[in-house]
Amino acid sequence: MRALAEFIMRGRMQATLVVVGSAALPLLFWLSAAAGCLVLLRRGLSDALSILVWALLPALGWWYFGDPRTLLVLLGSLGLALLLRAGQSWTRVLLCSVAVGLVYGLVLGSVFREPIAALVAELQKLMPQALGGLHQQLSVDEQTRLNALLAPVLTGLLAALLQVVSLLCLILGRYWQAALYNPGGFGREFRALRLPPALALLLLAGMLLGPNLGAQAAMLTPLCSVPLAFAGLALIHGLVADGRLARFWLVGLYVTLLLFMQLIYPLLVVFAIVDSLIDFRGRLARKNGAGPANGEG
């Protein structure tokens, strides 16, 4: 991957080839967004525009054929990269990713209205079997409200997936930038990520109270969980780097996350919330007598 990053930064023509070519190829839109983030983070918006504007052509072409993902991820990740280049913290970037996810949800809800409606209809048929006797205990109004939440929640899940992809593209671009110009810098930056208690509780409130604010606000539940999940990953990476956990746990985390995402993902969210309140890494550093800079200046 470092060789690819070196090729991208070799010149304008090479960067354009990767950014535009990846956007034009199926299932490689993430590489286009990551390469665009690298160029933007290193060279700034004015120099990157002459490259990124060409990537809009294949992205708009994919939208014309009914697939908005390329354009959404490209613009979303570049917008977050602008914040990061402007000196905003990863905490602010993660919070802004929720707003990006809301935009994704509105667009996906419009473009994929019919497929989502068809999927909701199938889920409504399976709901009595899935819930068993619990579904029969619900009143008519409660069943109606439950059915009304299906479409927004599904749309929110799709938007949250693109939100995750956008953040991963930004992370890959930042990793490339550090590998080329500041080795080890991204690792220290990511491992230091910890959400303030007020922000973590705000995101938790968005997850739990979103469906009570209206059917469309149910999209907030998956969208607000994404920053917490990334903060949970940063916590595990930080504990491994400090020697509190063996590297085996980090490998096991990603393997189980791929195989049992429905179980591990909520645990990451819980870890992030608890860490925001307790600050595991800070407590361990103070217990060991480390200074506030933790030896990193």
Give 103-123 pLDDT, tens digit per residue: 999 999 999 989 888 988 888
* Model confidence band, residue 289 (pLDDT cutoffs 50, 70, 90): low
Per-residue pLDDT, averaged over 168-183, amounts to 95
If one counts every other C-beta atom within 10 angstroms of the C-beta of residue 88, the result is: 14
What is residue 297's predicted lDDT score, i.e. its pLDDT? 27
CB 217 within 8 A of CB 231: no
What is the residue whose two structure tokens read 């970037």? 93
CB 80 within 8 A of CB 167: yes
Mean pLDDT of the chain: 89
CB 195 within 8 A of CB 133: no
Cβ burial of 24 (10 Å; 0-12, 13-18, 19+) is middle
